[in-house]
Structure 1
Amino acid sequence: MSLRAVAIERQHRRRCLFKYDGYRCLVKKSGETVELVSRNGKALNDSFPDVADAVRQVPGDFVWDSELTVDDRAGHSDFERLQQRARTRIPLRVHAAARESPARLYVFDMLARAERDMRAPPLEVRKQRLRDSFENSAVLVYASGIVGAGEWVWEQVISHAFEGMVAKRLASPYEGRRSPDWLKIKNPDYGRPAALSWARRYARLDRSPACQQCSLGSIPYPVQIVTHSLLR
């Protein structure tokens, strides 16, 4: 049975979300300190200060899991423009790039809140805590997903040319690795040469010891513990 068939057959026990075409981004906030960290441990603050500023406005300390994108006017993720922004570091050019190619953060999970590690509670508990933590804006978007509608979500993926969908078991804890609790189903007709090139470039880096750590500095427990385990 295919992953899509499993997701649809068990859709009433899973929350199905669109899979956005961007950078997986770990978001850490402690006081006024915000860190945006890519899956391979790369700091993204310098290239995306607009996103860091938006996160800074959210009350409290937390760790989020999210997808960082640059969308076109039709609402589709534009990976090439995202890469261009990520390569831009000179402040004047960064501000110009933010105006021309505004970034968006689709936030889909909460790993820590204040001094509480949130990875063990079920997905539905984490989603509710996340939903209560901020309001949607042009930059920050709560990726809600839909329970019991896997077939409909997949139809939208195909008709609107999204990258794919993710079907997450409602009772699942957070795991920073591949798991049958989270089924990722790719759209077979979706293509993005730039993204495939990026993936090949960092495939080995993702598994290297250097990417198991990042600059944690002032980020306290449990945020530090959650961050370290996520990047392993």
Structure 2
Amino acid sequence: MLAKAVKDVPAADAVEGGYSYEPKWDGFRCLVRKDGDDVELISRGKKPLTRYFPELVAAIREHLPGSAVVDGEVVVRSGEPGAQRLDWEALGQRIHPAESRITRLSQETPAELIAFDLLAVGDEDVTDSPFAERRERLESLFDGMAKGAPLHLTRVTRDADEARVWFTRFEGAGLDGVVAKALASPYSPGKRTMLKIKHKRTAEAVVTGYRVHKSGQGVGSLLLGLYQDGQLFNVGGIAAFTAQRRLELVEELEPLVRRDADGNVEHAETDRSRFSSGKDVSFVPLRPERVVEVAFDQLEGWRFRHTVQFLRWRPDRDPESCTLDQIDRAAAYDLGEVLD
């Protein structure tokens, strides 16, 4: 079951039967299938996640009673107690081929499960039941959950005003926004029957280079940088361009291409990561003279999260004025307060 993006939290009576609201978690969407001692974790894209989270599999086996299929989010938290937040980078590092690293990270950055829907209990398929009923049965499944277990039931409210408070407050703990679910709706796999309200911000960034499109024609993505203490740091990129625009950008950016004394394009590569180890990370470097305004969801550490959207060129902006300090960050909020 997927979510359609909308701009604002809808009124509770905007749909027949009313809405239920809950926080939007920023982790790996996951289906948990438990049949006795057999536990399987499956991503939204139907990829197996079980081997990467042995500590979570053990916790589900120990604490989740009976057999069930639960929809939820796998997350990792970081920070000291009282000042914790979701840590996307630490979560991403958990997907690694080496068994020794999986074992080590399961102890250093243990994962937790946030449950928010129920598909089956025992041999009973409950996907045709309305969400209000599925939620009640999910609460019963989690009733009596051992204190300290890394399995959590997401909080819900039927008060739109409270959901709007959550939207603002919980961002400081690394959450993505708010989700609205129709209380009368069945579970509909693959259909966008939920509504999601996500944070949107804008910033000015320096274009530091571009990657050639996989077709070999035009710009595939623009690479972005922000200054901190006089140094330019890579913070992400923009990739959504039409075929025509990709070709136009090559011509527009040609005067900025950095070349050596012989007129050849200078060689440049971005840092490799676990996701790019087998990919071409080279790019065409540009003199940092052009500024672009972008829309984004959030900045985690020194990187834009999720999709970054091109808004407009900003010829009026000095590139060195594009600093990390300009980014509007949410006030810190303890993740523990969201989970309690």
Distance 2:34 2:12 in 1: 38
Query: What is the aligned partner in structure 2 of residue 224 from structure 1?
Result: none
Aligned AA for 2:200? P
Cα gap change, 1:178 to 1:187, in 2 (>3 Å): farther
Matches within 5 A, 1:107-118: 107-118=115-126
Q: Is 1:28 the counterpart of 2:33 in the alignment?
A: yes
Matches within 5 A, 1:162-181: 162-180=175-193
- Are 2:85 and 2:172, in contact at CA under 8 Å, matched by a contact in 1? no
Distance 2:22 2:117 in 1: 12
Query: What is the aligned partner in structure 1 of residue 152 from structure 2?
Result: 141
Q: Percent identity?
A: 32
Query: What is the aligned partner in structure 2 of residue 191 from structure 1?
Result: 299
Distance 1:143 1:119 in 2: 19
Distance 1:131 1:56 in 2: 18
- Are 2:9 and 2:163, in contact at CA under 8 Å, matched by a contact in 1? no
Unaligned runs of 5+ in 1: 198-232
Query: What is the aligned partner in structure 2 of residue 49 from structure 1?
Result: 54
Aligned AA for 1:79? W
- Are 1:157 and 1:187, in contact at CA under 8 Å, matched by a contact in 2? no
Unaligned runs of 5+ in 2: 202-297, 308-340
Matches within 5 A, 1:1-232: 3-5=6-8, 7-8=10-11, 10=13, 13-57=18-62, 58-73=64-79, 74-87=83-96, 89-90=98-99, 92-134=100-142, 135=145, 137-148=148-159, 149-158=162-171, 160=173, 162-180=175-193, 182-189=194-201, 190-192=298-300, 193=303, 196=306
1:131-185: CA deviation from partner (whole Å, max 9, x where unpaired):
11121644100013211132222232455552111111111111123434x1011
**Does the residue aligned with 1:85 lie in a helix, a strand or coil?**
coil
Cα deviation, residue 21, structure 1:
1.0
Q: Which structure carries more relative contact order (alpha carbon 8 Å, separation 6+)?
A: 1
**Does the residue aligned with 1:120 lie in a helix, a strand or coil?**
coil
- Are 1:150 and 1:167, in contact at CA under 8 Å, matched by a contact in 2? no
Cα deviation, residue 4, structure 1:
4.2
**Does the residue aligned with 2:57 lie in a helix, a strand or coil?**
helix
Cα gap change, 1:178 to 1:75, in 2 (>3 Å): farther
Report the number of matched residues.
194
1:200-228: CA deviation from partner (whole Å, max 9, x where unpaired):
xxxxxxxxxxxxxxxxxxxxxxxxxxxxx
Distance 1:49 1:159 in 2: 29
Cα deviation, residue 93, structure 1:
2.6
Q: Compute the TM-score of the two structures, normalised by the length of structure 2.
A: 0.52
- Are 1:28 and 1:36, in contact at CA under 8 Å, matched by a contact in 2? yes
Runs of 4+ in 1 over 3 A off after TM superposition: 8-12, 157-161, 191-197
Distance 1:152 1:112 in 2: 32
More helix by percentage: 1
- Are 1:8 and 1:151, in contact at CA under 8 Å, matched by a contact in 2? no
- Are 1:29 and 1:62, in contact at CA under 8 Å, matched by a contact in 2? yes
**Does the residue aligned with 2:8 lie in a helix, a strand or coil?**
helix
Distance 1:5 1:93 in 2: 42
